Amino acid sequence: MTVKLGLVGTGTVGCGCIDILDAHKEDFARHYGVDLEWKRICSRRSVQAEARGLEDIFTTDWHEVVEDPEIDIVVELIGGTTTAREVVLAALNAGKNVVTANKALMASFGEEVMNAAAENNCEIAFEGSVGGGIPIIDPMKHSLISNEISSVMGIVNGTTNYMLTRMVDAGLSYEEALAEAQAKGYAEAEPSADVDGLDAAAKIAILASIAFNSRVTLADVHAEGIRNITTTDLDAAHDMGYCVKLLAIAKRTSEGVSVRVHPTMLPLTHQLATVNSVYNAIYVTGDAVGETMFFGEGAGAKPAASAVMGDVLEVGRHVAQGVKPLVGCTCTDKLPIVPMDDLETKYYLRFTVADQPGVLAATASIFAKHKVSVYSVVQRGKKDAGTVDLVYVTHTAREKNVRAACADIVALEGVVFAEPSIIRVED
């Protein structure tokens, strides 16, 4: 059977999809009995469609795609939450299945989109929205369904992982690493979405919603980026047997769902510590399966198009077989989001302090006052400058107590010379 496709967006991922279908159309038909065919292609500019000989089916008006009665699946690859949201909702309301790689849409408007799909008895698939080519949404919705998932931890932003890797391997400063990432085309000229953790926050919102059967939106995710990470902290971490990664973390706790993105110290022996450069990995722990890790290229035209076309083929098979949507929204519970103040974890804290008698005792007594138990303290370097770094690692403590202790330490008169570094630690 021929399954007809509409494509909205011919950027790098859209073109990657056209190229994959060009290369594998006959394989798909032979292996799966589904003949996929582009019926309409929409973009602001025709150049990419023309370059691929698809000018006859090109349009600049997305309505012509969603209103085409022959189209079975609309592939939305324009991104963002304005026009893309209109396209996706219009397509579903017109009875089309939708495949998208739009993390912002799914993280902020997932409930609306999933409801529209359910109301119209249509399917929406979004594997490409997280981790580029890495299969993670489908495994969590299918293969791991018999598990209670306790945590999902991911390196889901390739740009920041590249920058942190270069800061460690080449001793680059944050600014140098950013300039290099921009020169290589990984980071945007305005890099905020990556370096401030927002891209990763959208991705972990999507994964947390699936993992815990409870809707988590982008607004629920506490996001901190890597702007304040220094080589001093990376060196100190390494000396203690740790690396620093920008981790997206979602955990099921007795108080609800803890969901956050921040630089995190991980033991060098942890599987995620081996994930370097632009690679992504997602570490999922379930009660039956135990610990699993999904690894691969988290960005780029071909990996993302691989995920999108996998969805297209699977939805296409359902269309060809005449089956109803197999898995829709799985957010049946309403778990509370644990406020950051109530987070319980371990902390690395570095204070640049005056090298003089009584400073260690004063800081230690402040930790005691706030019920923060210290696991280790090390004094590092810079003696000649009259200041040294005091590096504390705590036992598990409450975030609000650690923050209060840090504020008191910073307020000690003439003692602290810079903003403290605060990095959460995962064992």
- Give me the residues that bind ligand HSE (CB under 6 A), please: 157-159, 186, 194, 199, 298-299
List for the chain the helix, strand, coil content (%; round to 5): 40, 25, 30
Q: Which two three-digit tokens encode residue 180?
A: 């290099």
Instruction: Name the residue nearer to ligand HSE (CB basis): 186 or 392.
Output: 186
Minimum CB–partner distance for residue 187 and ligand HSE (Å): 7
Is the CB of residue 130 less than 8 Å from the CB of residue 205? Answer: no
Q: Taking the complex as a whole, how short is the minimal distance between the CB of residue 186 and ligand HSE, in angstroms?
A: 6
Is the CB of 280 or the CB of 363 nearer to ligand HSE? 280
Reduce the secondary structure of 45-85 to three states and give it as a string: CCHHHHHCCCHHHEECCCHHHHCCCCCCEEEECCCCCCHHH
Q: Which residues are catalytic?
A: 203
Q: Which residues contact 209 (CB under 8 A, 6 or more apart)?
A: 110, 215, 216, 330, 331
CB 275 → ligand HSE: shortest distance, Å? Answer: 12
Q: Using an 8 Å Cβ cutoff, are 62 and 41 in contact?
A: no
Distance of closest approach, residue 45 Cβ to ligand HSE, in angstroms: 22
Q: Minimum Å distance from CB 157 to ligand HSE?
A: 4
Give residue 141's Cα distance to chain centre. Answer: 17
Q: Which is nearer to ligand HSE, 133 or 286 (CB)?
A: 133
Going by C-alpha positions, the residue among 371, 417, 415 that lies closest to residue 395 is: 371
Tell me if residue 374 falls in helix, strand or coil. Answer: strand
Q: Give me the least distance between CB of 311 and ligand HSE, in Å please.
A: 16
Instruction: DSSP letter for 278, please.
Output: T
Residue closer to ligand HSE, measured from CB, 139 or 158 = 158
What is the Cα Rg of the chain in Å? 24
- Angle formed at CA 196 by CA 190 and CA 198, multiple of 5 degrees: 95
Contact 326, 318 (CB under 8 A): yes
Q: Which is nearer to ligand HSE, 164 or 409 (CB)?
A: 164
Nearer to ligand HSE, 201 or 250 (CB): 201
Q: 125: Cβ–Cβ under 8 A, 6 or more apart, which residues?
A: 97, 98, 99, 100, 311, 312, 314, 315
Distances in Å between the Cα of 113 and the Cα atoms of 67, 82, 103, 268, 336 are 18, 13, 12, 40, 22
- Which residue from 19, 12, 2, 69 is spatially nearest to 40, judged by alpha carbons? 69
**Cα 137 from Cα 67, distance rounded (Å):** 29
Nearest to ligand HSE of 206, 422 (CB atom)? 206
